[in-house]
Structure 1
């Protein structure tokens, strides 16, 4: 049964309101948040997500990275507190290069399963 556009927006807005943090990953985070970046000063970043037409857009966050030039981040993760919600590939991989920071705004579909 397809949902009406109004219901799709209501579902997306409810799901978007759950999101509290974003994370960076060196590989697919799967269903658990695996492959997350690590090492000081890296930390998950607080964000809010707005939803329009079933698409979520986060506020911009700035990740501080540990300064390992060989590291490449190719996925992001979405969290509700300490609970992993899901993740997707980045539109382009990010390298851990000077100034050892990655600025990120994520845009992703929010769908009812």
Structure 2
């Protein structure tokens, strides 16, 4: 489902609608309405990214407010690149070896690696 629907909220909504036996038209319209908020986010960024050329469209398309807020807040709190590097490497490993369950495997691997690091730091201290 993640290939066709870019927003997590829409995926959860689609599952609810599918279990309620909603038609594809209802799901499509509901998804459009739910995700129309991104149009406003994107429009507000047009002038900010004016000088970026064709990258502007990717920057606007790639806007996922919750994800970006979480990443930025996490960076402000810890100021350490290690968790971000772990997440990227785990995502790449999961993508290469377990495409069908990439997100679940990447999250699981990230948790294991970060927990092991935390445990080793705690044992040293």
Q: What's the TM-score, normalizing by structure 2?
A: 0.25
Give the number of the structure whose residues are more often helix, by fraction. 2
* Higher relative contact order, chain-length normalized (CA < 8 Å, sep 6+): 1
Q: What's the TM-score, normalizing by structure 1?
A: 0.27
Q: Which protein shows a greater Rg? A: 2
